[in-house]
Structure 1
C-alpha cells in the first residue's frame, strides 16, 4: 500500500510538472473533494496567488466563488463543474461566468472541461478540471453587442454558413419598419439586401467568398410592400467564432427627395429664366464666362445663343468700355453683387445700348455663378437728354416762356403727381433771395437783376449760388422748374397755388 501511495504521489508530481506551464488552467481534485493543486494559469483565472485561496475543498470553493450561466442565472448547489466531476461526470465544455462571492458583476468567463484519471482497478484516482479563460473574447463580444445595438446606423449580420440573419440593430428596424422577429432567422433570399444593387454580381461573388463588399446603391423591400433606396456595404466579421457578413446601410430617401426637389426647382428656374422679359445671363463668377442666356438677352444683343455660351464678354467685346468691364468683373469676384452699374452693351451689329447692369451670386449645380440682368435705358437717357437740351435752349430767351409751359415741365419731373410740392421751402427763403428768384423766374439775367434790385452783380451771384444749393440744382432752368413745382411764379409777395397741369 505504501508503495502504491508513493507511486501515486510520483505520478501526481509528474503530472503537475507537465501541466504547470500550460496556458490552460488546471486544477487537481481528489476523490474525497480535496483541492490538491492548481497551476499558475488557474490561480490567475481566479485572481488568487495560492491554491489555498481557492479553498481546501469543493464546498469551500463554492463558498468563495459565485458561478453563473451566460444567462446570468446562478449555478445551484450540485451544478458547479467541480461537483459534477467529483460525481464522476465527464463533460467536454461548460461555459460559466465567475466572480468572487459577493461581487456584483462577473470578472471572468471560463470554458471548463473535465478529465477523470482512473487507477489500475478502474477507480477514479485523480479528477482534473481544465479551464480556458475566454474573458477577453466575451468582453469584446459584449462591447460589440452594445455598440452594434446602440449604433444609430442601420446594420444587420448574416451568417455565411447558411445565409441567415443572426443579429439586427434598432437602426435597421426603424429604417425598414421590420420587427426583430421578422428578421432574425430569416434567409438572405427572403430579405435581399442586395436587390437591384448597382453591381449585384460582384456583391454576390464577394458574399460567397466572405470578402468585403464595396459600397453600392440597392433597393430594400419593406414589409408594407414599399421600397427604400439605400447605400449598402458588407464587411466580413466573426461572431462567436462564426464567419459572418456585417451589412451597413445609409438611407438615401432624403437624398433622393432632395434631388427630385432640386430638379423641380431647377426646371422652374429654367422656365422663369427663359421667359423673363429683362435680358438676363448666368455666368461663372470666376471669369464671367456665359453658362446660359435668356431669349431677351439674345434679342437685345443680336447674338445667337450658340455664339454666347462658353464665351467671355471680352471675347466678344460686349461691353463698350474696357475699364468699366474690368471694374464690373472685379466687383463681381470680390463681392458677388452689383447694383445698377451703368454700362454700354455693344450689340452684334455694332450699336451700343445704354444699360444698367445688376448681379447677384447664385449656386447652380454646385457651381459658383452670378445672375446678371441688363436693363436697356437707351430711350430713357435719350429722352432726358432731349428735355434738358430743350430747356437749355428755350431758357436763352424766356420772354415767351409761359407759365403753362413751366407748369407742364414741373409736372414732367414728377410724373403721376398733380399736387404742388410744399410751399414752406419758398416761405423759408430770405426776402432778398426770394426777390432774386422772382426775377430769375421772369427770365432776367444776373446783370438785369442787379440793376433792378440796385445791388452789385456779385451779390446776385451769391444769392444764385445759395438758391442752387437749396434747390439742389445746377442750372437756371432747373431752378425755375423747382420754383414752379412749389407754386412760385415770380411774385415776390409769396407763392401761389400751383394749377393742375393739363
Structure 2
C-alpha cells in the first residue's frame, strides 16, 4: 500500500509536466502492476481505464473488456452482495460509489459472476480519490484484497466453534467484550446469547471467582495463555457452577482475542459430596455399631480403624492397634490362622461365617464368627471385618452335647420325641471349615446313623442289624471320621441339623 501511494505521488509530479489532456500513466502502471492487491483505475466519467493482473485474477478474467470498461458494464458482468446475503444495490457498488467522489474503507462484498447463484470470491474494497486540483479528481483508485480464504477459514472456525460441544467464549482484547459464544456454554451456564455477546467479561465475571483470579487477569491483560484453573462460573439465578477454565490467545478478523474454554466440574463436585456424606455415614455407623469391627488395608493388612465394640471385646486401646499389623499384636489364636484368613481374603475378596479364636490383650481366647468384605474407603481398597462373639453359645452347645452324651449311657428309655427336642435346643449351625457338605455315607453307615439318632446303643445296633459288636464299632468310627463327630451327641446333632434322610425305616 505504501508503494502504491508513493507511486501515485510520483506520478502526479510527473503529470504536471505533461499534456493534461493525454496523461501518461505508464510509470504508475509499472509501479503497481506487480502488487498482490488488486488495483483498478477509474476515470471521473465512469470509465475503467486500467486494472493490474491481481485485480483481473480476482474477477476470473484476463482482459479489461472481460472485466468491463465502464461501471455499467462491470455491473452487467458481476453481481455483488454484502457478506451475509443482502444484494448490493447498483448505486452502492464500490466502483459506483467511487465515481460519485466517495472515498471508503473496508467494504466487504461477495462477488458472483452474472448468472451464477453462489459467490465466487469475497473482496475487501477500499476507495481512494487522487485529486488533480482543489476541487477536481484526477484519478479514482479501487484497491481490492482477496479475502476469500480468510473468510472461508473464519467460517470454518465459526462452524467448528458453534458445533463444538465443549463450552467456549471468545472475548476481544481491546475492550474485553464477548464476540462469540457457543451452544455448549449457553447450556452449561443457563445464559442466553444476548446476555453474553456484546457484554464485557466483568458484566458476566467469569474470572471473579477463579482459583487464581489475580494471575488470570494479569495474563488476560497481557494477552497470554491462561492455564487451567478451577472457577465458580456465575449463573443467571445468582448461583454458581464449578468449572475448569482456560484461556487461549487467538486472532479473529485481525483483532487479538482470547478464547475461553470450560469443563463442567459439577458432576465431580456432586459425586465428591455424595462420597463424603456416604463416608461420614459409614464412619458414624462403624464407630457406634454394637458388632465389633476392624478396618485393615488390603495391601499389607495394616489396621486402619477399629470401633468401640472391638476395643471392648479385645481389651486393647485404640492407639495400641491402629496403624499396626495383626501380626504385631497377634490377634488370632495362631499365626497359621492369621495367614489362612489373609490368604482367603486375597484369593476371594471376602468370606462369611468363619469360626475363629480371637486372642484378647490378656491372651484369653474368644470364639467368634468372622466375616470380611473388600470395600473402598477414601479411594483406598480396605478389608472390613466383623466379629460375632459366640463364646456363650459354644459353651451352651458343649454342655448340651455332654448332657446328651450322658443320657446316651442309658438311652433305652429315651423316646425319639425327647431326642428331637434335645437336638432342637442347639443353636443353628454356623458355617465352618468342615461343613459336611458333600459327605457320602454307605448304606450300612446310614443304617448305623439312623439307629444312633434313635438312641440305640452299640449292642442294640448290633442286634438290630445282625452284626457283631466290634463290626458296629468300626462302622461308628468310620462314620465319626466322615462327619467330623467325636461322640454320639455330635453325630445326632449333625444328622438333625442337616435334615439327613436315613432311609424308609426312619420315615
TM class, shorter-chain normalised?
A: 0.7 to 0.9
Match of 1:320 in 2: 333
Q: CA, structure 1 residues 334+7, in 2 after alignment: closer, same or farther (shift >3 Å)? A: farther
> For residues 264-283 of structure 1, what are the alpha-carbon distances to aligned partners after superposition, in whole Å with 9 as ceiling and x for unaligned?
22221111111112111222
Give the Å deviation of 1:234.
3.0
Query: What is the deviation of 1:176?
Result: 3.8
1:402 aligns with 2:411: no
2:29 is paired with a residue of what secondary structure?
helix
Choose the corresponding residue for 1:165, options 164, 178, 182: 178
Spell out the pairing of 1:482-497 with structure 2 (5 A cutoff): none
Compute the displacement of 1:414 (Å).
Answer: 7.3
Query: Where does residue 352 of structure 1 map in the other structure?
Result: 365
Change (3 A) 1:454 1:381: closer
**Relative to 1, partners in 2 of residues 1:236 and 1:359: Cα closer, same or farther, differing over 3 Å?**
same
Alignment equivalent of 2:303, drawn from 278, 290, 294: 290
Is 1:234 the counterpart of 2:247 in the alignment?
A: yes
Shift of 1:165: 3.4
Distance 1:280 1:40, change over 3 A: farther
Name the CA distance, whole Å, in 2 between partners of 1:413 and 1:314.
35
Q: C-alpha offsets along residues 54-76 of structure 1, whole Å, 9 cap, x if unaligned?
A: 34543343233221112421111
Map 1:108-147; keep pairs closer than 5 Å.
108-116=121-129, 126-147=139-160
Matching residue of 2:260: 247
Other structure's SS at 2:104 match: coil
| Structure-2 residue corresponding to 1:67 | 80
SS at match of 2:118: coil
- 1:321-370 CA-to-partner distances (Å, cap 9, x unmatched) read 33332332233334322222333322222223333322222222211222
Residue of structure 2 equivalent to 1:424: none
Number of the residue aligned with 2:118: 105
State yes or no: 1:183 paired with 2:192. no
Name the counterpart of 1:80: 93
Q: Does 1:196 align with 2:209?
A: yes
SS in structure 1 opposite 2:54? helix
Aligned equivalent of 1:215? 228
Per the alignment, in what secondary structure is the counterpart of residue 161 of structure 1?
Answer: coil
Q: SS of the counterpart of 1:162?
A: coil
The 5-angstrom pairing of residues 237-276 of structure 1 reads: 237-276=250-289
Mapped contact 1:409–1:481 kept (Cα < 8 A): no
Q: CA deviation at 1:88?
A: 4.0
TM-score by structure 1 length? 0.78
- The 1:7–1:202 alpha-carbon spacing in structure 2 relative to 1, beyond 3 Å, is same
Cα distance between partner residues in 1 of 2:455 and 2:347: 53
Task: Confirm or deny that 1:372 pairs with 2:385.
Answer: yes
Unpaired runs of 5+ residues, structure 2, are: 1-17, 430-441, 499-503
1:295 deviation in Å? 0.9
**Cα distance change of structure 1 residues 6 and 466 upon mapping to structure 2, 3 Å threshold:** same
- In 1, are the aligned partners of 2:111 and 2:120 still within 8 Å (CA)? yes
- Determine the C-alpha separation between the residues in 1 that align with 2:59 and 2:141: 16
Name the CA distance, whole Å, in 2 between partners of 1:483 and 1:30.
Answer: 121
Q: Please state if 1:27 is matched with 2:40.
A: yes
Go from structure 1 to structure 2 and tell me whether the alpha carbon gap of 1:309 and 1:436 turns closer, same or farther (over 3 Å shift): closer
Distance 2:388 2:453 in 1: 39
Distance 1:449 1:85 in 2: 130
Matched, 1:43 2:52: no
Contact 2:451 2:461 in 1 (8 A): no
TM-score by length of 2: 0.77
Instruction: Kindly state the Cα deviation for residue 453 of structure 1 after the two structures are TM-superposed.
Output: 6.7
Contact 1:58–1:83 (Cα < 8 Å) also in 2: yes
Q: Distance in 2 between matches of 1:461 and 1:32?
A: 138
Alpha-carbon distance between aligned partners in 1 of 2:472 and 2:263, rounded to the nearest angstrom: 85
Give the Cα–Cα distance (whole angstroms) in 2 for the partners of residues 484 and 332 of structure 1: 32
Alignment partner of 1:78: what SS? Answer: helix
Structure 1 gap ranges (5+)? 417-428, 487-492, 497-502
Structure 2 vs 1, CA of residues 271 and 30 (structure 1 numbering), >3 Å: closer, same or farther? same
Cα separation, partners in 2 of 1:348 and 1:167, compared to 1, 3 Å: same
Does 361-370 or 51-60 show the bigger shift? 51-60
Match of residue 149 from structure 1? 162
Farther off after superposition, 250-259 or 476-485: 476-485
Worse overlay, 127-136 or 140-149: 140-149
Cα 1:263/1:54, change in 2 over 3 Å: same
